[in-house]
Amino acid sequence: MKFIVGNWKMNGTWDEKETFLKALKNVKTNNKIIICMPFTLLYGNDHGITIGAQNISEYNNGAYTGDISGKMLKDADIKYVLVGHSERRLYHNETNAIVKAKANAAIKNGITPIICIGETATDKNAGRTMTVVKKMLLECIPKTCKYIIAYEPRWAIGSGKTPTKEEITAIFEMIHKTLHQVGCENIALLYGGSVDSTNAKQFANVPHVDGLLVGGASLKSDTFLPIIKSID
Ligand code: PEP
């Protein structure tokens, strides 16, 4: 079983969600499909596809205008939430410490955080990928081993560029080994960054890759269904 996680970002109306979920309704798959939708679309989880959230507050309630807490997500029957996506880090200044606090808030409410980590193009060009990603990983993970890690090189998100097989094999080996060293076995590891139906299978087959995080290609059933089918 692989995870195939979609990230709709700030896209989607109620009608678009209904159309999308209807198209996916009868798909036969052994994989776990999760679509992380905007807050306005989290309710109405009745099509057999798991709906996840894209953000969570590190606090449980209080004077934090515009934020949504783990308690609220739990109330909406949400089981998965993205934390530390590179766009949250870039546009909302989320640090590793904030990401870790958000992951802990999710776990406290019985929600699995999907913790996103990944190097920038500058890091990559300076040959710092391994050290940067390892540091991010160690600074973001909670003590309790109840999370998923999504490795998403920032330069690969929405760019059509992807790491080579050698690069991706080495980084997943390092992430797997690091988690083993901190006593966390069986953590699901996802790859994200310009995944489409032509490359999904090759990423899903890399050792220690337990699934995919898909942005742009998850928005329409026409592009998402072929990904699901390609890795069954
Ligand atoms: C993402 O934003 O998490 C992502 C992987 O985007 P894309 O698939 O469009 O590169």
Average pLDDT, the chain: 96
- 152 CA distance to ligand 1 middle (Å): 8
- 220 CA distance to ligand 1 middle (Å): 14
Closest approach atom of ligand 1 to CA 7: 3
182-213 exposure pattern, b = at least 16 Cβ within 10 A, e = fewer:
eebeebbbbbbbbbbbebbeebbebebbbbbb
CB distance 84 to ligand 1 below 6 Å: no
Nearest CA to ligand 1 atom 7: 215
What local confidence, expressed as pLDDT, does residue 88 receive? 97
Tell me the CATH number for domain 3-230. 3.20.20.70
What local confidence, expressed as pLDDT, does residue 44 receive? 74
Six-digit token string for 64: 């934090």
Residue in the structure block whose two tokens are 């739990």:
74
What local confidence, expressed as pLDDT, does residue 46 receive? 63
What local confidence, expressed as pLDDT, does residue 49 receive? 87
CA distance 215 to 224: 10
pLDDT band at 25 (very low <50, low <70, confident <90, very high): confident
Q: What is the percentage of the chain residues whose pLDDT exceeds 70? A: 99
Residue in the structure block whose two tokens are 């953590």:
187
End-to-end CA distance of the chain: 9
DSSP assignment of 30-87: SSEEEEE--GGG-S---SSSEEEBS---SSSSSS-TT---HHHHHHTT--EEEES-HH
What local confidence, expressed as pLDDT, does residue 126 receive? 98
The set of residues, in sequence order, having a beta carbon less than 8 Å from that of 109 and lying 6+ positions away, is 60, 69, 70, 71, 73, 74
What local confidence, expressed as pLDDT, does residue 38 receive? 98
**196: nearest Cα among 172, 213, 179:** 213
Indicate the residue type of 67. Answer: D
The model's pLDDT over 84-104, given as tens digits with 9 standing for 90+, comes to 999 999 999 999 999 999 999
What local confidence, expressed as pLDDT, does residue 45 receive? 64
**pLDDT > 80? residue 41:** yes
User: Average pLDDT for residues 65-71, to the nearest whole number?
Assistant: 97
H helices present in 109-161, as ranges: 121-125, 129-140
Nearest CA to ligand 1 atom 2: 215
Catalytic residues: 85, 152
Nearest CA to ligand 1 atom 6: 215
Q: What is the percentage of the chain residues whose pLDDT exceeds 90? A: 95
Residue 158 gets the label, from left (phi > 0), alpha (psi -120 to 50) or beta, of left
What local confidence, expressed as pLDDT, does residue 26 receive? 81
User: Average pLDDT for residues 41-58, to the nearest whole number?
Assistant: 88
CB distance 114 to ligand 1 below 6 Å: no
User: Average pLDDT for residues 69-76, to the nearest whole number?
Assistant: 97
pLDDT band at 232 (very low <50, low <70, confident <90, very high): confident
Closest approach atom of ligand 1 to CA 87: 2
Q: Sign of the CA dihedral 121, 87, 8, 146?
A: positive
